[in-house]
Chains A and B, each alone.
Chain A
Amino acid sequence: MSAVIDTHGHGHAAEHGDHAHPPSGLMRWVTTTNHKDIGTMYLWFAFTMLLIGGVLALTIRAELFEPGLQIVTPEFFNQLTTMHGLIMVFGAIMPAFVGFANWQIPMMIGAPDMAFARMNNWSFWLLPVAGSLLIASFFVPGGAPAAGWTMYAPLSIQMGPGMDLSIFALHIMGASSIMGSINIITTILNMRAPGMTLMKMPMFVWTWLITAYLLIAVMPVLAGAITMTLTDRHFGTSFFNAAGGGDPVMFQHIFWFFGHPEVYIMILPAFGIISQVIPAFARKPLFGYASMVYATSSIAILSFIVWAHHMFTVGLPTAGLLFFMYSTMLIAVPTGVKVFNWLATMWRGSMTFETPMLFAVGFLFVFTMGGFTGLMLAIMPVDVQLQDTYYVVAHFHYVLVAGSLFAIFAGTYFWIPKWTGRMYDETLGKWHFWLSIVFFNITFFPMHFLGLAGMPRRVPDYASQFTNFNQISSVGAFGFGLSQLLFLYIVLKCSVFGKGEKAPARPWEGADTLEWTHLPSPAPYHSFHEQPEVK
């Protein structure tokens, strides 16, 4: 994915910049203010964290292969589930989408770079620091936090110093996200090519604009929640301690006021990618562009008034339960609109199924199943049975892995010719898709049954009747995990090794955004010195 090392782009006609040559070697990456370099670093960082989080997940699945304790102790098991969640959410999925934003937003709106190039460098380089703190928590006395990625008080108060490291890591990641969002919003609102009105922006840009606002709204809320945890731990406050007049439920309210918009932060950019890929391979414009914009905005707004559906079992009053049940059900409407619009885009198109399209269709199919289970969980009485069971684990992996991660794959295959100037290996890409979708379902589909039958989540050991489905799930997980090495190989091949067929400027017949129509492949190091006109 490297922006390929070349400043060869300087030779290109559009590149008569008077820029000094950037430093070479490591310092190039440390000091870069180039949106493509920074995007590349975000993506590699995210992939590294994905592999680390994946190893944690596979350890979990290995322990759960049969009842009894085999591989890890219960306290370490809880550290694994906690860190798997934190690493995947804050280390893998969110930075990956910011990487896409960095690479694509300037190219898609015809801007030369991000608005705040130096801040862009800073917001990336905060991440490795935060990631190291997070991982370092495994090696301090008492180990990593083991209170779940939700860090519910008062369990989080009991943790060792690993909890403090993670709190600082999240603070830093939050700061990084907020800076990234300010940058994205400023870029989108101020640097669009002449003629590109808001309602002419590519859908990916729209979804990121909305996502950036969500991030700015809720990351400070998370920072507040974890700061209160920190002061409860060390400075004698009692925000979440009943004995001092506090309330542990308040933590959950604050956390989920962040946490639910966070869910959409992780899925809206995915919607954006899918909305670019499907029209390109259906060779047909996105159906219902305006309604897609309105649906995305409605989802974002609704995301602020549904948080307590994560808390249906805390003992809310009847009126509260009904309010949050109804508001949550409402989300199905705009989400449905998006799915129907994608279908209508495919309908009577002239479709081909290269790897990006396979992942997009796979996304549509599997994400929608996650949407269905989401609807099931919105029904408060049903949720009472399913809360904190494997059904919930299945649900959010259907939307986060088959949703966000598959969209990230679709986007990578879609844009990698533009990023590296090389076509990826189509055969291997297809293998990657089929292995991923088959093993994904083997891993996570049986979890629905486990949850329905009554297996709680976050347990290192389980009653014998849950054995069979757990074994199926563990086998699937190893298959899924290993399949991702194929992805690593495919990406390395066309980026770092620079192998593979040379990519034309516009390898996808139906792709019509500025990066395809106005820039060569690979995109030059500095693109759009002169703004293109959009008619």
Chain B
Amino acid sequence: MKSAMMLASVTLSLFIWPVSLKRIPVMISHFQHVCPSAPPQSDPPAPSDDRLPVERGRAGGAPVRTRGLAPFVAASADLRRLLALGVDVSGWDRRPGIPQLVLRLQWERDMAPRIRFLHDAGVPSDRLAAFITRNPLIFKERLDDLQVRVNYLEAKRFTREQISSVLSRDPFWLMFSTARIDRRLGLYAGLFGLRATELRQLAAKCPDLITSNVQHVKDSLFTIKEEFGFERAELKQILLGKPKVFMLSRWALQDRLQYLHNEMGLTHELIAESPNVLTYRSWRVRQRHLMLNMLRRDQYDRSRPGYVSLDRLVGTTDEEFCRDVAQVPVASYNEFLKTL
């Protein structure tokens, strides 16, 4: 049959694919620019664009315009120091202004004092690289300002551990002026009725909530409080238990609460007791719940036998869930998932 022969030729051609069919992005091509034996001077002149950093460090070479920081590594000892520290500079070229800033920095004048400052303020050495990767703009801030912002935290009776937690969890905290941080803390204390201790706990646990978009948090609050009718005490419980819930997109929050409350029939108290469940995607909750429902083990009431806690429902791996909660082999669970 004609079509059968055509199909046979299709399947035969599978086995004679050429070896290199696709551009393989190996790092070597990048390093050819760096290697002193092969300077990229033969490259055709790129169109003039002032937004791209210009390399002038190479003796005798014309300025080279580039889209990455790789060609500057051979010339810039400071950049190599950052790399040795473990800073991931690969994403910086996508952020406007960052490469220009970094290439103008000097290690002794700009970088070393601030890195030392961060370390003294409580950012552990293994978090320094991640900090700088996310926020290289810290090198632009004045040291006095940074000191004032840390002093503010001390004045607000944050413990040393809490300050360390704030700074290492949120690299952008120190970019905010003292007045702005103070306004934000006051706002959250008012919105959720937090006492000073609780506010400090919140800031230490999730400092990025304080520095994130306030309107977004207000929207999440509206969804939980007005649309789903949680009590003020429950809101506080959710906030202190899992502050990240207020940083979720409103759509996701509605979707998850809708499933947990309206379809699974969980009470507000139960959800507020384990707010962790709100950070899992609703399909994960749904899959686990339907499996338990089929086995008639979906019993989330603590006062009755066969209680399954929400944390065990979603916070476990599939193996743990099947072994401890559903008590079925993982293969059966996988088969069940294909019937959904």
Q: Determine if chain A interacts with chain B.
A: no
Could you tell me which B residues sit within 8 Å of A by CB distance?
none
